[in-house]
Amino acid sequence: MMQLNLPQHDIKVKRNDRGDGWVVWDPLRRRYVALTPEEWVRQHFVQWLVQDKGFPIALMGNEVSLTQNGIARRCDTLVADRAGRPLVIVEYKAPTVAVTQKTFDQIVRYNMVLHARYLMVSNGLSHYCCRIDYDRGSYSFMADIPQYDELLQQDK
Protein backbone atom coordinates (compact mmCIF):
# COMPACT_ATOMS: atom_id res chain seq x y z
CA MET A 1 0.00 0.00 0.00
CA MET A 2 0.97 3.60 -0.55
CA GLN A 3 2.94 5.66 1.97
CA LEU A 4 0.64 8.19 3.65
CA ASN A 5 1.15 11.60 5.21
CA LEU A 6 0.34 10.14 8.63
CA PRO A 7 2.49 8.73 11.45
CA GLN A 8 3.33 5.04 11.33
CA HIS A 9 1.15 2.90 13.60
CA ASP A 10 0.69 -0.82 14.05
CA ILE A 11 -1.88 -1.73 11.41
CA LYS A 12 -2.68 -5.45 11.36
CA VAL A 13 -2.91 -6.85 7.83
CA LYS A 14 -3.21 -10.50 6.76
CA ARG A 15 -4.34 -12.67 3.84
CA ASN A 16 -8.08 -13.23 3.67
CA ASP A 17 -9.50 -16.71 4.34
CA ARG A 18 -9.51 -17.57 0.62
CA GLY A 19 -5.88 -16.49 0.25
CA ASP A 20 -6.65 -14.30 -2.76
CA GLY A 21 -6.59 -10.88 -1.11
CA TRP A 22 -5.77 -8.90 2.00
CA VAL A 23 -7.77 -7.81 5.04
CA VAL A 24 -7.01 -5.25 7.73
CA TRP A 25 -8.08 -5.23 11.38
CA ASP A 26 -10.60 -2.51 12.19
CA PRO A 27 -10.54 -1.90 15.96
CA LEU A 28 -13.78 0.09 15.80
CA ARG A 29 -15.77 -2.65 14.05
CA ARG A 30 -13.74 -5.31 15.88
CA ARG A 31 -13.21 -7.44 12.80
CA TYR A 32 -11.08 -7.79 9.70
CA VAL A 33 -12.35 -5.94 6.62
CA ALA A 34 -11.23 -5.93 2.99
CA LEU A 35 -8.06 -3.91 2.50
CA THR A 36 -8.77 -1.25 -0.09
CA PRO A 37 -6.81 1.98 -0.58
CA GLU A 38 -9.60 3.92 1.18
CA GLU A 39 -9.58 1.44 4.08
CA TRP A 40 -5.80 1.85 4.34
CA VAL A 41 -6.36 5.58 4.81
CA ARG A 42 -9.21 5.02 7.30
CA GLN A 43 -7.19 2.70 9.53
CA HIS A 44 -4.16 4.99 9.61
CA PHE A 45 -6.27 8.10 10.22
CA VAL A 46 -8.23 6.42 13.04
CA GLN A 47 -4.99 5.29 14.69
CA TRP A 48 -3.62 8.83 14.39
CA LEU A 49 -6.75 10.28 15.98
CA VAL A 50 -6.68 7.75 18.83
CA GLN A 51 -2.95 7.51 19.53
CA ASP A 52 -1.75 11.01 18.70
CA LYS A 53 -4.82 13.25 18.98
CA GLY A 54 -6.43 11.74 22.10
CA PHE A 55 -9.71 10.66 20.52
CA PRO A 56 -11.47 8.07 22.74
CA ILE A 57 -11.87 4.88 20.73
CA ALA A 58 -15.05 4.07 22.68
CA LEU A 59 -16.70 7.21 21.22
CA MET A 60 -15.85 6.36 17.61
CA GLY A 61 -17.57 4.26 14.97
CA ASN A 62 -16.73 3.28 11.39
CA GLU A 63 -19.30 2.86 8.61
CA VAL A 64 -22.07 4.35 10.75
CA SER A 65 -25.52 3.95 9.18
CA LEU A 66 -27.82 6.90 8.71
CA THR A 67 -30.95 7.61 6.70
CA GLN A 68 -31.22 10.71 4.56
CA ASN A 69 -34.46 11.42 2.69
CA GLY A 70 -35.42 7.77 3.06
CA ILE A 71 -32.12 6.54 1.62
CA ALA A 72 -29.73 4.41 3.70
CA ARG A 73 -26.21 5.84 3.76
CA ARG A 74 -23.02 5.27 5.75
CA CYS A 75 -20.59 7.85 7.01
CA ASP A 76 -16.98 6.69 7.13
CA THR A 77 -16.22 7.59 10.76
CA LEU A 78 -18.36 9.25 13.40
CA VAL A 79 -16.91 10.59 16.64
CA ALA A 80 -19.20 11.49 19.54
CA ASP A 81 -18.69 13.93 22.37
CA ARG A 82 -18.71 12.60 25.93
CA ALA A 83 -22.52 12.93 26.07
CA GLY A 84 -22.84 10.71 22.98
CA ARG A 85 -23.81 13.49 20.55
CA PRO A 86 -22.18 13.60 17.09
CA LEU A 87 -19.06 15.78 17.28
CA VAL A 88 -17.00 14.88 14.19
CA ILE A 89 -17.75 13.21 10.86
CA VAL A 90 -14.75 11.98 8.87
CA GLU A 91 -14.84 11.16 5.16
CA TYR A 92 -11.98 9.22 3.54
CA LYS A 93 -10.82 8.88 -0.02
CA ALA A 94 -8.07 6.73 -1.49
CA PRO A 95 -4.68 8.45 -1.82
CA THR A 96 -5.11 8.57 -5.59
CA VAL A 97 -8.42 10.45 -5.26
CA ALA A 98 -8.19 14.22 -4.95
CA VAL A 99 -10.16 15.90 -2.19
CA THR A 100 -12.59 18.14 -4.07
CA GLN A 101 -15.75 20.14 -3.50
CA LYS A 102 -17.67 16.96 -4.32
CA THR A 103 -16.05 15.30 -1.27
CA PHE A 104 -17.17 18.15 0.96
CA ASP A 105 -20.66 18.10 -0.57
CA GLN A 106 -20.91 14.42 0.38
CA ILE A 107 -19.92 14.97 4.02
CA VAL A 108 -22.20 18.03 4.29
CA ARG A 109 -25.15 15.87 3.15
CA TYR A 110 -24.38 13.40 5.95
CA ASN A 111 -24.14 16.27 8.38
CA MET A 112 -27.64 17.44 7.49
CA VAL A 113 -28.77 14.34 9.39
CA LEU A 114 -26.09 14.15 12.12
CA HIS A 115 -25.46 17.85 12.96
CA ALA A 116 -21.83 17.37 13.99
CA ARG A 117 -19.74 20.44 14.85
CA TYR A 118 -16.67 19.33 12.90
CA LEU A 119 -16.11 17.79 9.48
CA MET A 120 -12.83 16.14 8.51
CA VAL A 121 -11.75 14.86 5.12
CA SER A 122 -8.58 12.93 4.28
CA ASN A 123 -7.12 11.01 1.39
CA GLY A 124 -4.14 10.05 3.55
CA LEU A 125 -1.99 12.73 1.94
CA SER A 126 -4.06 15.86 2.59
CA HIS A 127 -6.23 16.36 5.68
CA TYR A 128 -8.87 19.02 6.25
CA CYS A 129 -10.97 19.99 9.24
CA CYS A 130 -13.69 22.59 9.37
CA ARG A 131 -15.84 23.82 12.22
CA ILE A 132 -19.52 24.42 11.65
CA ASP A 133 -21.02 27.47 13.39
CA TYR A 134 -24.74 26.73 13.43
CA ASP A 135 -25.58 30.01 15.18
CA ARG A 136 -24.04 32.07 12.38
CA GLY A 137 -24.78 29.66 9.56
CA SER A 138 -21.10 29.53 8.59
CA TYR A 139 -18.03 27.32 8.66
CA SER A 140 -14.31 27.87 8.99
CA PHE A 141 -11.36 25.67 8.09
CA MET A 142 -8.88 24.94 10.86
CA ALA A 143 -5.11 25.04 10.37
CA ASP A 144 -4.63 21.48 11.71
CA ILE A 145 -6.53 18.49 13.02
CA PRO A 146 -6.98 19.41 16.71
CA GLN A 147 -6.70 17.23 19.77
CA TYR A 148 -10.03 15.75 20.92
CA ASP A 149 -10.08 17.87 24.08
CA GLU A 150 -9.46 21.01 22.00
CA LEU A 151 -12.57 20.22 19.96
CA LEU A 152 -14.60 19.91 23.15
CA GLN A 153 -13.21 23.23 24.44
CA GLN A 154 -13.95 25.03 21.17
CA ASP A 155 -17.42 23.54 21.13
CA LYS A 156 -18.41 25.31 24.37
Helix (H, G, I), strand (E, B) or coil at 73: strand
Q: Is there a contact between 78 and 28 (Cβ–Cβ < 8 Å)?
A: no
Task: Kindly report, residue by residue over 26-75, the tens digit of the pLDDT.
Answer: 999 999 999 999 999 999 999 999 999 999 999 999 999 888 888 888 99
Task: Kindly report, residue by residue over 75-86, the tens digit of the pLDDT.
Answer: 999 999 999 999
User: With the C-alpha atoms ordered 128, 103, 63, 124, is the resulting torsion angle positive or negative?
Assistant: negative
Q: Distance (Å, rounded) from C-alpha 6 to C-alpha 46? A: 10
